Chains A and B, each alone.
Chain A
Amino acid sequence: MKPALKHFFDSMGAYLARPGPESLERLYSEHPGWDAPRERVALYGDFIRGHVRGALEKVFPLVRGAVGPDAWGALVEGYTLTRPARHHELNHLAEGFPAFLADAAASNGLAPFVPALARFEWTDFAVFTSEAPSPEPVARLTANPTLAVLEHPFRLCAYVRAKGALAKPEAGEEVALVWRHPEQLVTFYVEATPPALLVLKMAVEGLSMEDVAAATGMSVEALRSAVERCARDGLVLRPSASGG
């Protein structure tokens, strides 16, 4: 690359890393005689910051509502300065936001549940767009390949279900299961119940209904009912009836 072109990219890179009036003046000082209107060049700084903000507001609507507009603006600004867009798919820039919030929570006076809520919202998005292939017919009971398991000390499932209408989530340990329904292709999430966890254990470890019934004292009928319910919701995948 010719030195002049490298200089151009270097100077634009310095500006776009931290767009603002001062960095814009520094950019122009690198290119004496450049007569493009400053407000036109500044559009690019605005666009690029806007893309980060737009992605965060798409993925984290509940976090945004929970922290309020002022704190949200400051958090977006701070996160933007970390230059999080390291992937060619725009929404991936949001992946590091939950960890950023966890680090920033104390100094920004965020409610303790906010980082966990951000992790929940990111997981919701990641599961919805998971590259795990839509399941082919399975030979035996199989856990949904998009399943993610979250543990947190808040009742977030109820909070998310209420779309943030609650003032804050109740405190309390929760294991949340998040997965994409194999036919409907929408995200499901529930607080894990003992029957759901048992069905998942059967799927992961390949346990037979009879063995589990013997080990747990549950009736085979009750187990079958739990498996059917989980399969209907797409949490586990069953072999088709015709396939045995």
Chain B
Amino acid sequence: MVTYARRHGLKPLGAGIGLRRSFYEELPRTGRALDWVEIIPENFLTLGGRPQRTLDACAERWPVLPHGVGLDIGGPDALDADYVTRLAALVERVDAPFFSDHLCYSRLDGVYLHDLLPLPFTEAAVEHVVPRVREVMARVGRPFLLENPSYYARMPGGTLSEADFLRHVVEEADCGLLLDVNNVYVNALNHGYDARAFVDALPLERVVQVHLAGHTRYPDVIIDTHGDRVCGDVWSLYRHVLRRTGPVATLIEWDQDIPSLDAVLDEADVARAALREVAGR
């Protein structure tokens, strides 16, 4: 089967980390192994000064992949034209091989909610999202990936399974899939399903990138905080994914209680070793 990556000439990039403010000084000068850097484009679309200088320094050393949180691909409002124009310019500027955002909504009545809110798993939502994905891809002009978000409650009216919802959207829109393995794990525990069976039900030939992160356990729910090391179960699920997809660009996502750069790069080293292992099978 021809994968989405092969169709678009995308090669596995290795292991990357997110460019976060606390790394602005140290990251561009690091001597540690790092294959690529992910940025949250919202931090660079309208903010000048130090973020831009750091971004330029990183782009000179590594591939840079924009991973947005504000596209609002599933929302009822029209796409934010200014946002998409700026995003396209940023993608061009860093010459990103692809870009990504989340399968969710994040804006209502013109108000940015600054969160990734789950859609109902319905045919109506699929019909709504698919042309918006196509519009974004046409306007930005690069391959686009949608991420499976974490969610804490199933939205009302759902008629599809989560995996079928994801499959319908990415296949009908013909975009790639950014598989957040921690989200799969968190969702599986919060909603009581088998994480590996869920992975196996996805259109894995469309996976171009993987996210790994930590989470926080509370008595009644697990929150996708990106505030800890990747746990053993998520590493295990990641290896399960890699056995099916082969090597794919893998990000260590750490957004809260961010530790030292070395600690995050240590996690990336573990991912890189897993990627080499699966590449050498």
Contacts and interface: CB of A to CB of B under 8 A. Distances in A.
A36 B155 CA distance: 7
Interface in B138-158: 152-157
A13 interface: yes
A85 B109 CA distance: 11
Report which residue of A4, A31, A51, A146 has the largest number of chain B beta carbons within 10 angstroms of its beta carbon: A4
B113 A48 contact: yes
A13 B109 contact: yes
Nearest to A52: B114
A20 B220 CA distance: 20
A1 B49 contact: no
Contact of A86 (B47, B50, B112): B112
A69 B136 CA distance: 44
Contacts of A86: 110-112
B156 A89 contact: no
Contact of A41 (B48, B49, B112, B153): B153
A79 to B, nearest CB: 13
Given A2-B124, A2-B128, A4-B124, A87 B112 contact: yes
A238 interface: no
Contact of B42 (A47, A88, A93, A146): A88
B259 interface: no
Interface in A153-201: 180, 185
Interface stretch (A107-115, A125-133, A209-217, A225-233): A125-133
Contacts of A40: 152-153, 190, 221
Given A39-B220, A87-B112, A9 B42 contact: no
Contacts of A90: 42, 112, 114
Interface residues of B, number: 42
Given A83-B111, A85-B112, A87-B112, A131 B48 contact: yes
A135 to B, nearest CB: 12
Contacts of A1: 76, 124, 128
Contacts of A33: 156
B46 A185 contact: no
Contact of A9 (B45, B47, B108): B108
Interface of B: 42-43, 45-53, 70, 75-76, 80, 83, 105, 108-115, 117, 120, 122, 124-125, 127-128, 152-157, 190, 220-221, 223
Interface of A: 1-2, 4-6, 8-9, 12-13, 16-17, 31, 33-34, 36-37, 39-41, 43-44, 47-48, 51, 83, 85-90, 92-93, 128-134, 146, 180, 185
Closest 3 CB pairs of A and B: A31-B156, A36-B153, A2-B124
5 contacts: A9-B76, A34-B156, A43-B221, A92-B46, A134-B48
Given A4-B157, A36-B156, A51-B115, 17 more contacts: A1-B128, A13-B108, A36-B155, A37-B220, A40-B152, A43-B153, A44-B115, A85-B111, A85-B112, A88-B46, A88-B83, A89-B43, A92-B46, A93-B112, A129-B47, A129-B49, A134-B49
